[in-house]
């Protein structure tokens, strides 16, 4: 037997092993914890739901299901009560998160408890659901007595000395043909009062006229009073902000000939209320003499000598901020000659080539969302000129020029900060095609428009550099966003210096606030602070460089986006449709325990796992061989003694 097993082991046989694993059905209870449920529901109904959800969990577990309770914010810890305080209702993102989290498990059903109000994301009509969705209907579908501000229409920017309108939309639910008094305040000062009557449909609009008398960020408040018996008073007041500036900044768009890029640029810049855009095309328009803050040269200089004298002045003197958009039709010999003090150009007679783009991750001149970067990378290539360029002096790359998957030494879009002005270069033809393709894919042009707008904003911020440069990454934040600053320190030669402590004091306009500090470091110019409550804020920064105290300051605003208080009428039709589409059941709070019936749960999944193991790795075989050897020795010993 011993020799037989030893001979067998020389063949190195394998054992096929099997393991059986049972995966119980998984149930996820998704509780919509948005504020609209608390504002629009009966307290007794909410109490019954909070108690019933625990009994539902126990009953499901007795039926053999594994149960997880989640809210719109994520997993709910054991013993933690549901707090209905979420500022938005995004059911799609939560269902998508559950779908991804339980992808490799036996996810049988999701029980969604909600009022059906969606104010972010899609309405789920086209969302694919690979599992059953049962719904528990919360909230109140019957009209309740409520007077609310439905919308406010106003300019984001106003100009000193000019009057501007503020249009206030008012909606009354359960209120008709009733007088409403609306008041407009600047800070605590009452500016104007309007009395309007609600129509038969419960709608009204109050029109105000405001004439600012000082510059800066102004906070306004509208108040429409209250009626007896309203379900909530949180939507009867609202704050908004308007920036008052002294004058518009002037932008000149100069082109050699009509081109679809011009319309793309004009459409994007039309969203900037603080600029006055003037366009001029060679052979059609004349340039109006003026002091322009920014000049955009499209395909100029060209070989026809369009606007020759003016283009030469813009390129040589550098008094204006400048954006050069060079295409294969640009006259690179003239461009090389007239921009020789700040730009090197190589070549210019080669053939054009198609170039893709990639946003440079090291660029931090402005905030650009990741989704926009992804959109840009998927847009078709532009036609890049056969020339290449490099800056004389320091510069920053915004978009790298990609030939295939390789980044070329010549950027697609880059910027250079001069002493009195800034310059940017876009090295290609096809901005219009980008905008057209983005709209075809996403039905919006956010990525391309924001690239144009933010590049122009950066160029318009030109000026003599200070030794301390502190600027808010955004002029406007929401209450859920972290306020961040770009911080740079320079010596007297305007060379960057590091390891300097910079202190920033942030407070609401007219009051002291909190202090934050950082040490400047290469490649890390951002200071992230914290989320702030709604209001207009002023910041002042200080540091010590070269033994002197230097300062900088600025303003920004934080807006409250209280979407939950604006609509409190539950949408139970959405919940019923969602259940029907996925094969689930829709019920009220009183019937929620019926969702734990065993018939609603599928059987456990049997998961088989098989694998091969070497026979030599089996401990029992070694023991068998040892036993055979010991037995033979013992028998021989006994036979020898006998």
**pLDDT of 618 above 80:** no
User: What does the pLDDT average to over 139-157?
Assistant: 80
User: What does the pLDDT average to over 601-613?
Assistant: 74
Three-state secondary structure readout of 435-476: HHHHHHHHCCCHHHHHHHHHHHHHHHCCCCCCCEEEEECCCE
**pLDDT of 606 above 80:** no
Residue 310: strand, helix, or coil: helix
Ordered DSSP codes for 611-634: EEEEGGG-HHHHHHHHHHHHHHHH
User: Cβ neighbours of residue 7 under 8 Å, at least 6 residues apart?
Assistant: none
Instruction: Report how far residue 626's alpha carbon sits from residue 299's, in angstroms, rounded to the nearest whole number.
Output: 90
In this structure, the strands spanning 216-223 and 237-245 are antiparallel
Query: Within a 10 A sphere around the Cβ of 321, how many other Cβ atoms?
Result: 28
In the numeric block, which tokens belong to residue 5? 């097993």
Q: What is the pLDDT of residues 94-121, one digit of tens each?
A: 888 888 888 878 888 899 999 888 877 7
DSSP, res 599? G
Residue 208: strand, helix, or coil: strand
**pLDDT of 526 above 70:** yes
Structural domains of the chain in order of their starting residue, each with its CATH number = 2-20+607-641 (no CATH), 25-141+569-603 (3.40.50.410), 146-245 (2.60.40.10), 249-460 (3.40.50.880), 468-559 (2.60.40.1930)
User: Cβ neighbours of residue 620 under 8 Å, at least 6 residues apart?
Assistant: none
**pLDDT of 10 above 90:** no
User: Cβ neighbours of residue 10 under 8 Å, at least 6 residues apart?
Assistant: none
DSSP, res 511? S
Contact 74, 603 (CB under 8 A): no
Instruction: Report how far residue 281's alpha carbon sits from residue 289's, in angstroms, rounded to the nearest whole number.
Output: 15
Report the range out of 27-41, 183-197, 526-540 with the highest average pLDDT.
183-197
Q: Which of 193-202, 243-252, 429-438 has the lowest mean pLDDT?
A: 243-252
Question: Residue ranges of the alpha helices (H) in 284-423?
Answer: 308-317, 332-338, 370-377
pLDDT on residue 433: 95
Residue 121: strand, helix, or coil: coil
Angle at the Cα of 275 (from 270 to 276), degrees rounded to 5?
A: 85
Instruction: Report how far residue 138's alpha carbon sits from residue 121's, in angstroms, rounded to the nearest whole number.
Output: 20
pLDDT on residue 243: 80
Nearest CA-CA partner of 361 in 407, 399, 393:
399
Strand order, beta sheet including 526-528:
468-472, 484-489, 526-528
Instruction: Report how far residue 135's alpha carbon sits from residue 525's, in angstroms, rounded to the nearest whole number.
Output: 48
What is the pLDDT confidence band of residue 369, given thresholds at 50, 70 and 90?
confident
pLDDT on residue 22: 78
What is the pLDDT confidence band of residue 563, given thresholds at 50, 70 and 90?
low
**pLDDT of 69 above 70:** yes
Nearest CA-CA partner of 53 in 571, 597, 589:
589
Nearest CA-CA partner of 571 in 241, 91, 207:
91
- CA distances (Å), 433 to each of 164, 254, 445, 472, 552, in order? 36, 20, 11, 32, 41
Q: What is the pLDDT of residues 400-451, one digit of tens each?
A: 999 888 888 899 999 987 555 689 999 999 999 999 999 999 999 999 999 9
Question: Residue ranges of the alpha helices (H) in 63-124?
Answer: 91-101
Residue 261: strand, helix, or coil: helix
**pLDDT of 190 above 80:** yes
Mean pLDDT of the chain: 85
Question: Cα-flanking dihedrals φ and ψ of residue 455, to 5°?
Answer: -65, -45
Instruction: Report how far residue 50's alpha carbon sits from residue 325's, in angstroms, rounded to the nearest whole number.
Output: 61
DSSP, res 283? T
- CA distances (Å), 413 to each of 10, 294, 355, 358, 508, in order? 69, 17, 12, 10, 37
Helix (H) or strand (E) holding 3: helix 2-10
């Amino acid at each position: 037997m011993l020799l037989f097993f030893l001979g067998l082991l020389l063949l190195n046989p394998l054992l096929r092993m099997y393991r059986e694993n049972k995966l119980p059905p998984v149930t996820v209870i998704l509780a919509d914890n948005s504020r609209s449920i608390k504002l629009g529901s009966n307290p007794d109904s909410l109490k019954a739901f909070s108690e019933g959800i625990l009994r539902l969990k126990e009953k499901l577990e007795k039926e053999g299901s594994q149960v997880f309770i989640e809210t719109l914010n994520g997993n709910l810890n054991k013993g933690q009560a549901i707090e209905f305080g979420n500022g938005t209702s995004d059911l799609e993102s939560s269902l998508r998160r559950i779908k991804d989290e339980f992808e490799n498990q036996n996810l049988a059903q999701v029980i969604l408890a909600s009022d059906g109000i969606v104010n972010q994301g899609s309405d789920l009509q086209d969302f694919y659901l690979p599992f059953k969705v049962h719904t528990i209907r919360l909230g109140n579908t019957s009209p309740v007595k409520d007077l609310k501000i439905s919308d406010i229409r106003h300019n984001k920017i106003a100009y000193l000395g000019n009057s501007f309108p503020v249009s206030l939309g008012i909606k009354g639910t359960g209120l008709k043909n009733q007088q409403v008094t609306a008041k407009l305040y600047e800070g605590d000062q009452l500016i104007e009062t309007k009395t309007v009557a609600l129509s038969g449909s419960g709608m009204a609009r109050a029109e105000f006229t405001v004439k600012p008398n000082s510059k800066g960020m102004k906070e306004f408040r509208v108040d429409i009073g209250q009626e007896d018996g309203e379900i909530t008073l949180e939507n009867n007041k609202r704050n908004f902000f308007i920036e008052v500036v002294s004058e518009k900044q002037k932008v000149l768009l100069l082109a050699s000939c009509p081109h679809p890029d011009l319309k793309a640029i004009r459409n994007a810049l039309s969203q900037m209320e603080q600029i006055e855009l003037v366009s001029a095309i060679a052979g059609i328009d004349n340039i109006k003499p003026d002091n322009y803050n920014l000049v955009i040269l499209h395909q100029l200089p060209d070989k026809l000598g369009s606007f020759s004298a003016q283009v030469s002045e813009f390129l040589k003197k550098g008094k204006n901020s400048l954006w050069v958009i060079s295409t294969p039709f640009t006259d690179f010999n003239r461009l090389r000659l007239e921009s020789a003090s700040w730009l090197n150009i190589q070549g210019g007679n080669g053939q054009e080539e198609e170039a893709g783009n990639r946003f440079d991750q090291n660029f931090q001149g402005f905030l650009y969302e990741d989704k926009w970067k992804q959109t840009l990378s998927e847009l078709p290539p532009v036609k890049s000129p056969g020339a290449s360029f490099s800056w004389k002096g320091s510069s920053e790359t915004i978009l790298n020029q990609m030939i295939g998957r390789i980044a070329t030494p010549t950027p697609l879009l880059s910027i250079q900060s001069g002493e009195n002005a800034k310059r940017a270069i876009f090295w290609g033809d096809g901005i219009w095609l980008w905008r057209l393709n983005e709209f075809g894919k996403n039905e919006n042009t956010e990525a391309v428009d924001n690239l144009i707008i933010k590049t122009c904003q950066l160029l318009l911020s030109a000026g003599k550099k200070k030794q301390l440069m502190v600027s808010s990454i955004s002029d406007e934040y929401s209450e859920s966003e972290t306020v961040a600053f770009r911080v740079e320190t320079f010596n007297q030669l305007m060379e960057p210096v590091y390891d300097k402590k910079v202190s920033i004091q942030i407070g609401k306009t007219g009051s002291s606030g909190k202090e934050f500090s950082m040490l400047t470091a290469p490649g890390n110019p951002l200071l992230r602070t914290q989320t702030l409550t709604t209001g207009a804020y002023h910041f002042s920064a200080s540091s010590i460089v070269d033994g002197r105290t230097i300062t900088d300051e600025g303003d920004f605003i934080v807006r409250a986006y209280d979407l939950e208080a604006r609509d409190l009428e539950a949408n139970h039709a959405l919940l019923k449709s969602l259940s029907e589409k996925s094969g689930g059941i829709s019920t009220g709070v009183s019937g929620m325990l019926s969702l734990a019936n065993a018939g609603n749960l599928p059987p456990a999944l049997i998961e088989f796992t098989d694998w091969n193991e070497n026979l030599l790795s089996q401990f029992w075989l070694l023991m068998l061989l040892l036993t055979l050897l010991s037995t033979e020795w013992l028998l021989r010993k006994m036979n020898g003694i006998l």
